[in-house]
Structure formats: C-alpha cells, structure tokens
Amino acid sequence: MRDVSAWITGLAALALFGAGAGSLAPETGVEAVAATMTGARAPIAPPRRIVSLNLCVDQVLLDLVPRERIAGLSFLATDPSMSVLHREARGIPAVSGSAEEVLNLDPDVIFAGEWTTPATVDLLRRLGRNVVIVPMASNMAGIEEMVKVIAMASGEAERGAAMIAEFKERLAAIRVETERPGPRPTAVAMQVNSIASGPGSLVDDILTTAGFDNLAGRVARGPTGRVSLETLVATPPDVIVLANAASNYRTILADNLRHPAFRDLATTRPAVHIPMAEWLCGTPRIIDAVARLASARQRLAATGTLGRDAGSFK
C-alpha cells in the first residue's frame, strides 16, 4: 500500500516537472517525462548520482546540490576562463560528452543542454537512462525556469525555490535603480570575432537589465550579430563592455580586439571589464555581472566617467 502511494506521489512530481519543462519546450518536456517513466531507476527518492553534460547546468548544480551527489560535471567546469565555480568543480569527475563515460559513472539522472549532441542523448535514453534536457536561459526569466527544471529533477525543489527567490530579490533591487526614468547610456559588449550580442541574447538582457541601451540592437543583426569596426568607430557607444583582454586569447579571431582603432576606442571611452566566465551562462550567478554593470552605469550618470573601473582587467 505504501509502495502504491509512493508511486502516485512520484508520478505527480513527474507530471509537475513535465508541465514545467513542457511549458518551455513542448517536445523536450514530453520526451523527458517518457524517458523518466520508462527509466529503470525509480525517481521517487532524490537522485544520488547526478551527471551534467553542460557547463551552465554544472554551475547551477554546484550551488544547488550537495557535492557528494554530483557524480560528474562537464569537462569545462574546471576551466577558469569559462566556469565561475571552477574551484568548486575540482575533484569531481569530468565528462567530455561521450555516452560511454556517462554510463561508467552510473548516473540516475543526466542533465544535458539543448545543444548537447542528439546522438549521445538518444543513445543514453535508449539504454534506459533518465536524461533531462535543460532549456538554456537567454534572459532573466529563463534563468528561473532553468533552475526550476534542474531543481525538480535533482530532488531539490525547495533549495531551488530559495535560490530563485534570492535571485529575484537581488534582481528587483537592481531594477528599482535602473528602471527609473532618465537617460540610458548606450553600451556594446564586444567579443572575439566582432560579435556583439544583439536582441534575444543573454548579453542583451544583462545590459538592458543593468540600465543600458544595447547599441548592438541597432547596428547588429540577430542574437549573435556582429558589429563592424567601422560602425563602432563611426557611432561609438557610451560604454564598451569587454570580457577579457585580447592578450588572453590565442586566436586570430581576437584580432578585432587587438586592432589599433578598437584599442583607441576602448582606452578613450569608459570600458567595463567582466571576465567571460561571469556572463557566459544564464544562471543566478549572472546577477553579479548585472550588479557590476548597474553600478558602473550609476557612476557614469553621477560623474560622467567610470573612474577607476571596475572589474579585474588582466
């Protein structure tokens, strides 16, 4: 009798989770439920061996789930240039993405990003594993949904709700300042290969939330729109946001950041430096980047300059 009731509770939880995921991406939600129901391991107890194949899920898991329940993280999780929690990730087995490695870890839930190779996901599911596809956040609202999905599937709904509440609270505090009427300085987040994320991208929402008007929205096209150097020189933004110094990159694609015309621009205009790891992933930790940009905007409004910025420009 007790077994039956546990089953029903489990199914209810599944339905709930399914609905949550379904509202974001209908097909992945349905598939996730089906996979869970046919999965060999009962999902009633919180999973004890969690594996993530996605850098952004890694970050959420490290904040959400006790370390001993994380059986594996993506190989990028320990990379300081991409992972905010690279120190915390050390010592946890790294997975480069092959199904074999994942199976060796014998996980009871596997988190994959939307862009994880479909072949790997299919194979794991055919082998009866519980694979949860996590929708990647491209704005502040998406972050809540992402945490909700991960929290549900890892049996940490309560902690997840607390994380979301804290995130929303800090977000609201920032918005009180930035949504006041007044001039919105323009900004461009210039990256390697002249990419300046436009509307629809996470970076665009970070800039907008911090009270800036993303210039890339006017001059670039699409979420990974590029901005030409000529455009940047002709219509310079009030603030340039940079991830890393050009010397951090050993690639010819970073030549746009080394270009003398760009360097002149970045040294004569206010520039904010936020390491790539801090704004790469749409997780609650993004709020730190938003807060720094928002305070930079306030300083700019108050003094006309950014003073001695802000951030760790190496």
Interacting residues with other proteins (CB under 8 A): 81-82, 192-194, 220-221, 225-231, 233-236, 247, 249-253, 255-256, 258-261, 264
**DSSP letter for each residue of 182-212:** S---EEEEE-GGGB---TTSHHHHHHHHTT-
Whichever of 178 and 256 has its CB closer to other proteins, that residue is: 256
Its sign, for the CA torsion 274, 277, 282, 284, is negative
Whichever of 65 and 271 has its CB closer to other proteins, that residue is: 271
Q: Least Å distance between CB 2 and other proteins?
A: 51
Backbone angles phi, psi at 259, to 5 degrees: -60, 130
Whichever of 167 and 249 has its CB closer to other proteins, that residue is: 249
Q: Least Å distance between CB 195 and other proteins?
A: 9
Nearest-10 Cα torsion for 243, 247, 251, 255: 80
Q: Least Å distance between CB 117 and other proteins?
A: 14
Q: Least Å distance between CB 304 and other proteins?
A: 20
Whichever of 99 and 227 has its CB closer to other proteins, that residue is: 227
Instruction: Tell me how far apart the alpha carbons of residues 123 and 54 are, in angstroms, rounded to a whole number.
Output: 17
Whichever of 151 and 219 has its CB closer to other proteins, that residue is: 219
> 289 Cβ partners below 8 Å, 6+ apart?
206, 274, 278, 279
CA 99 to chain centre: 23
